[in-house]
């Protein structure tokens, strides 16, 4: 069995720290997609071909340059049960695709979980770096450094005109997907969010939910990422995202100040009502829990709540997902049972 300590603790070590503009930007992530030359891409690969990819990429672990990122733990997906895979998805260490559709899939995870390297996902190799707060440039620098180490050992599928070749056409070119997870409750409450997000889509960026493409933006959490990977350099993609996110941060700050100045009592009531429900509810579904936790997080950031921290809210956000609930209480649950146990866990955590 592989080392599955990563599925025991809800809070990754990197999530315990605050970064630049952490009250609005929860995290920054950069992901690089690559494929090996002369081997079928994962969706068309035979079992033998995917095994060869796994063997060749695992061998790169022998490169001493990777030691600067700490110990990298090798976890084959075939050795995990469905629950552990789901938890790794909930912690954003692997993708839903790797968890459910991969053949000979594996992931390399660093000690602090800020670096995860997926093998035989939609592409042969996906290097992902995570940082707390708004540090997309730093995440890019680390990801490209790791990419250089792998490229020293294997030949990538590359076209002189199109750039790096990937399974999905939207990743062809740089293979780079840079994103930030933003908490934007004030823009939602002041009904500015649709206008802001519409403007974002006009400058080559896209907005997704907490688990990426196809997921819902629950709890006022929005993932802003580049939509274009072809025709722009990596630095242009990072600079474009950086500039737009700075503008969104300023809009959110202005909206928060407006809420405090014009309706402080109403905001306090909203925050405290959500805190009261979380502290006393007998059942609560995931959508309501996310919204109530968003209210409480805003209360912390506005100074309306001073006995909780953002780190505690980060932990609760992960703990209340379905995989972790089943892991903690050691039983399979239907939806009604998850809602009951979710409320129980939140009451216990806030009671402490």
Q: Where are the domains of the chain?
A: 5-252, 262-351
- Please, what is the angle between helix 286-301 and helix 234-280, to 10°? 100
- 286 annotated to a ligand binding site: no
- 297 annotated to a ligand binding site: no
Round to whole Å and give the CA distance between 108 and 76: 9
Measured over all CA atoms, what is the biggest interatomic distance in the chain, rounded to whole angstroms?
65
Residue 52 confidence (pLDDT) above 90:
yes
* Count of other CB atoms within 10 angstroms of residue 160: 5
Partnered with residue 173 across adjacent β-strands are 164
CB–CB of 174/54 below 8 Å? no
| Helix and strand totals (H; E) in the chain | 11, 10
- 212 annotated to a ligand binding site: yes
* Mean pLDDT confidence for 74-84: 91
- 178 annotated to a ligand binding site: yes
- 131 annotated to a ligand binding site: no
Q: Which residues have a Cβ under 8 Å from the Cβ of 153 and sit 6 or more positions away?
A: 56, 59, 60, 63
Looking at per-residue pLDDT, the higher value among 352 and 94 belongs to 94
What is the per-residue DSSP string for 300-328?
HHTTS--S--HHHHHHHHHHTSHHHHHHH
Provide the token pair at 267. Answer: 């905001």
CB–CB of 41/124 below 8 Å? yes
- 91-131, pLDDT tens digit by residue? 899 999 999 888 899 999 999 999 999 999 999 999 999 99
The mean pLDDT of the chain is 90
Round to whole Å and give the CA distance between 188 and 351: 29
- 73 annotated to a ligand binding site: no
Residue 1: its pLDDT value, please?
45
- 30 annotated to a ligand binding site: yes
- 118 annotated to a ligand binding site: no
- 167 annotated to a ligand binding site: no
Round to whole Å and give the CA distance between 322 and 324: 6
In which band, very low, low, confident or very high, does the pLDDT at 201 lie, cut at 50, 70 and 90? confident
- 31 annotated to a ligand binding site: yes
What's the pTM? 0.90
Residue 343 confidence (pLDDT) above 80:
yes
- 209 annotated to a ligand binding site: yes
* Mean pLDDT confidence for 273-290: 95
According to DSSP, the β-strands at 106-110 and 115-119 are: antiparallel
- 95 annotated to a ligand binding site: no
* Mean pLDDT confidence for 45-72: 92
Pick from 90, 91, 88: nearest CA to 106: 88
What separation in angstroms does the CA of 214 have from each of 76, 173, 309? 26, 23, 30
The CATH number for 5-252, chosen from 3.40.50.2020, 1.10.10.10, 3.40.50.720, 3.30.590.10, is: 3.30.590.10
Which residue bears the tokens 């260490």? Answer: 93
Geometric angle at alpha carbon 27, from 61 and 23, rounded to 5°: 155
Residue 282: its pLDDT value, please?
96
- 208-224, pLDDT tens digit by residue? 866 555 445 688 999 99
* Mean pLDDT confidence for 22-48: 93
* Mean pLDDT confidence for 138-147: 96
- 217 annotated to a ligand binding site: no
Alpha helices in the chain (DSSP H): 47-58, 82-90, 96-101, 136-151, 185-189, 193-201, 234-280, 286-301, 310-319, 322-329, 335-351
159: left (phi over 0), alpha (psi -120 to 50) or beta: beta
- 126 annotated to a ligand binding site: yes
CB–CB of 37/165 below 8 Å? no
* Mean pLDDT confidence for 62-75: 91
Provide the token pair at 246. Answer: 């700075």
- 237 annotated to a ligand binding site: no
- 180 annotated to a ligand binding site: yes
């Amino acid at each position: 069995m592989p080392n599955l300590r990563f599925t025991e603790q809800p809070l990754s070590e990197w999530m315990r720290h605050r970064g630049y503009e952490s009250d609005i930007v929860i995290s920054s992530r950069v992901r690089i997609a690559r494929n090996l030359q002369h081997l079928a891409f994962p969706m068309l690969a035979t079992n033998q071909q995917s095994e060869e990819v796994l063997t060749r990429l695992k061998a790169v672990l022998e490169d001493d340059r990777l030691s600067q990122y700490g110990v990298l733990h090798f976890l084959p997906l075939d050795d995990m049960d469905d629950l552990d895979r789901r938890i790794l998805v909930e912690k954003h260490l692997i993708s839903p695709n790797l968890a459910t559709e991969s053949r000979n899939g594996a992931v390399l995870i660093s000690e602090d979980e800020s670096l995860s390297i997926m093998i035989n996902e939609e592409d042969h190799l996906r290097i992902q770096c995570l940082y707390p707060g708004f540090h997309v440039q730093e995440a890019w620098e680390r990801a490209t450094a790791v990419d250089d180490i792998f490229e020293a050992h294997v030949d990538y599928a590359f076209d002189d005109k199109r750039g790096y070749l990937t399974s999905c056409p939207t990743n062809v070119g740089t293979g780079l997907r840079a994103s930030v997870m933003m908490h934007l409750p004030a823009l939602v409450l002041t009904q500015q969010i649709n206008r802001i997000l519409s403007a974002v889509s006009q400058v080559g960026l896209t907005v997704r939910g907490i688990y990426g493409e196809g997921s819902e933006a629950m709890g006022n959490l929005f993932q802003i990422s580049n939509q274009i990977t072809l025709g722009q350099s990596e630095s242009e993609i990072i600079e474009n995202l950086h500039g737009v996110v700075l503008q969104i941060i300023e809009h959110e700050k202005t909206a928060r100040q407006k809420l405090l100045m014009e309706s402080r009592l109403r905001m306090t009531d909203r925050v405290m009502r959500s805190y009261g429900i979380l502290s006393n509810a007998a059942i609560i579904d995931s959508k309501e829990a996310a919204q109530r936790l968003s209210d409480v997080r805003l209360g912390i950031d506005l100074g309306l709540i001073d006995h909780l921290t953002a780190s505690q809210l980060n932990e609760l956000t992960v703990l209340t997902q379905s995989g972790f609930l089943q892991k903690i209480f050691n039983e399979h649950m239907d939806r009604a049972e998850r809602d009951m146990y979710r409320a129980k866990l939140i009451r216990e955590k806030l009671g402490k």
